[in-house]
Amino acid sequence: MVKVSLDLEEGLHKAIRKKAIDKGITMKAYLIELIEKGKSVEESEGMEETYR
């Protein structure tokens, strides 16, 4: 596992924190969820291009 540090604008930090709280998870868990979701969207887009 690798540790990552992010510098975020205060407004973005607050928005991420609020979404995480609304979901009942940590900011870390929420950010990982977003990254994994983006990764799967990216992979599925690559598959669509293969079938065109």
Above 60 in pLDDT, residue 13? yes
pLDDT tens-digit map of 19-31? 999 999 999 999 9
Q: Which residue shows structure tokens 């929420």? A: 30
- Burial group, residue 37, by CB count within 10 angstroms (0-12, 13-18, 19+): exposed
| Rounded mean pLDDT, 30-52 | 82
